[in-house]
Structure 1
Amino acid sequence: MGDLMGPRLYSCYKCRNHVALHDHIVSKAFQSKNGRAFLFSHAMNVFSGPKEERQLMTGLHVVADVHCADCREVLGWKYEKAYEDSQKYKEGKVVLEKYKIVKENW
């Protein structure tokens, strides 16, 4: 029966544009300044803003804000570069803030 519903996914809270699949979650143990966040290996229907260096809880990173492709709302950020070896696994991955996404097909 679950196969008939399609994949579990997350959508933009503002316009319901599909932005990520549940199966692409790498970690649910992330924090943003506004609360919990999820690290995804991939995101869809989003675009990245300009890259900038940002001091985060885990050190200095080059990141770019991630925007919904439909309504342009900032949903999180993408790790472009990590300076510390222990943080390199984040490169190319996307963090979406939990309060900015909603579950679909659950």
Structure 2
Amino acid sequence: MANLADHRVYSCNNCWNPIAFKDDILSKSFIASSGQAYMFRNATNLKIGDKFEKQLLIGHFTIAGIYYGKSGQVLGWKYIRAHDQRQAYKEGNYITIIIIIIIMYYKYVLQDKSTLFDWNWNCFLGLNQILGID
């Protein structure tokens, strides 16, 4: 059995379905009204809500809520448009509140010309941070 790759995956804390890979993290320094949040360049298994205008601490934006596609749980928002060009790098990216996602380790294994996926649940992201697991 050959281990081809190990990836950290950020997943829904209700059903463990993947939302994003560690490689998609752009920043870990965002703050939402309910706590710390991460910015991802790509996300999956999401539904994007209606667009609306929002004044945030750092400027005015057009954003859309993002919801986990299966449960409808609110995960955060997607930046649609920054009204200040200095904030334009955020456009198209996703902000996910970290207390509602978990880290899982995804093992991609090739065995007998079949692809096997092995999901190993680690723990809630908040506990990972307390323990210093990045």
Q: When you count strand as a share of all residues, which structure comes out higher?
A: 2
Name the TM-score class by shorter chain.
Answer: over 0.9
Does the 8 Å CA contact 1:17/1:70 hold for their aligned counterparts?
A: no
Matching of residue 26 in structure 1 with residue 26 in structure 2: yes
Higher relative contact order (CA 8 A, sep 6+): 1
Matching of residue 97 in structure 1 with residue 97 in structure 2: yes
- How many residue pairs are counted as aligned between the two chains? 104
User: What's the secondary structure of 2:53's corresponding residue?
Assistant: strand
Identity rate of aligned residues, in percent? Answer: 37
> Which consecutive unaligned segments of at least 5 residues does structure 1 have?
none
Aligned to 1:72: 72
Comparing 15-24 with 30-39, greater Cα deviation is found at 15-24
Distance 1:76 1:14 in 2: 15
> Which consecutive unaligned segments of at least 5 residues does structure 2 have?
106-121, 123-134
TM-score normalised by the chain length of structure 2: 0.74
- 2:77 maps to amino acid: W
Distance 2:72 2:16 in 1: 12
Distance 1:46 1:10 in 2: 13
Does the 8 Å CA contact 1:55/1:61 hold for their aligned counterparts?
A: yes
Distance 1:6 1:102 in 2: 16
